[in-house]
A and B are shown apart, each in its own frame.
Chain A
Amino acid sequence: MPIAAFSDKKYLVVMLKDGGEDNYGTLISREPQHVAASMVARPSLAFNQSELDGTYAAARLAGTQFSLHPALQPLVQIWNSGEMAITHRVGTMFTNLAGIPIAEIREATNAFYTGSILFPSGLGAHDKQAFSTVSMITRDFVDTSGRPRAVAESGFLGRLAERFESFAGGSTIPMTILSGQIVPPSTLLAADGLTQGLSIPLAGGVFRRNWTGSATQEAALRRLDAVMVEAQTEPRMEAFRKANLVANEGVAFLQPVVEGGTGAYAVDQSFPGSPTSGWQGTMRTFARAIEADLRQPTLRRRVMLIGSRAGYDTHTAQGKTAGRLATLHADWAAGVVCFRDAMIRLGVWDNTLMIDHSEFGRTLRENGSFGTDHAYARDAFAFGGAVRGRGKDGSSGLFGQYPTVLSTSGTGTFDLVGGQAGGGALAPGISLEQYWDEPLRWFGADAADIADALPRRASFGESVNLIA
């Protein structure tokens, strides 16, 4: 895709909730049967009807049967502005489950890998499902003819970034910028030839090459820079060399972003307390990076920012209104709200799309340790000026099909009952290919890009229609 095709700047912000977010503790149905079933299945975690309709009524999503977890209540203002969308039952699929009679699914899935339904292996394993969800190519990838194809795992965002790499304007800085834990974003970005994005510490840290100001060290760095000019024949050494180039130029670009004092960037006004950690610190760093990028209008036309935060693997002591999940929710909601304010301040909110992601959802059933276990699909969130939220083009702001009846009667991961699997796991109704197709196209992907990034796209149905 030629650079001339992009006349504007766009920012794709991906928020990785590392560990598997509890969907039932994030988006909460107020339907009486759902509330009653939840109270039985997760007694220490569920909200009763009076709490949802009374105590925490401010977290209700207008025009729907749903409430947000009370700690997510700040997001309601974005919902009301029509800039937030929620898609039910997004998950890893091999073939399209939607529209297949439940009886057939149950019959097919009682025997693993038999019948017309194929499930990817590694479901419920953090890294494997992260691979299969974010990369959509795994070692057991089956092509359109049903033939197994040995393809090493790679990340669909990494593959897309490689196709867009020329948009860096000759810079070694890739269009992808990371913050947070290293491993999950690397997984997401992995692609042959693109070892990594440019990862940065959070604002408030230190990010420089000559830490001590030593003349000898400065000389050593100059010599090393000269060494790094020479391409390596050994592929891993070449990757190391490239990583050094990215790091070196990245420091020059991002050092002011990381080290600049409060007030150095207009977007700081959107982040009360100048957060330096968690989702709020990540979002502040991202907002600063975007402001810095806007000061260089001739450089990157597309920037992908990937943040992650661990802690969503809430097997124990998940907590209801206080505790691990509530803390994560509150931090995330504050980060999203502040970031939106910052983008509006910069005038690029309509050019920004924020999407959350987690390797899987969690069981409706609470375990004996007051936590929840690995499950399957989840409710996915998107924010941005271009998102088809409530009231836009007649949208309800909700996409996909939520289960009519909540139950934990299934006994295994693949024992599907009414859109749920064992333990009350949400079964996917929308494949990740369907879900991500539109955001990638909004970002500038054409048909060839989609074919590379989402090679199984054709196996599934219509897109979600998430973008206005």
Chain B
Amino acid sequence: MPTKPAGTLYRGREGMWSWVGHRITGVVIFFFLLVHVLDTSLVRVSPEAYTAVIGAYKNPLMALGETGLVAAIVFHAFNGLRIIAVDFWKKGAKYQRQMLWTVLILWAVVMVGFSIRHLSLALGGH
């Protein structure tokens, strides 16, 4: 059995987990994007076909799915800006951990706001 490497700065720490999160959210967003271009393309088939399929996005279960998707997008967006700062800002690598916590705090704030607004609109009577 290989021994566990000790004292690495990256493995198992913030840098690694943010990288894992960035990959997973990126793949999720990419596959949604493929589906989303296809469903939007139904406007070219007929108004009723589009409205019927987009109606599938308006049920309560999908409202939760949309919230999850937006959570993935917002994390990928903020963490992407962090990656740019790590690459281009002189002190980026030094402060990458602090920047990850900033990303997570901003993500939580944005998601609380988004969830309240979107879920009350999507689930509320109208």
Answer yes or no: are A and B bound together in one complex: no
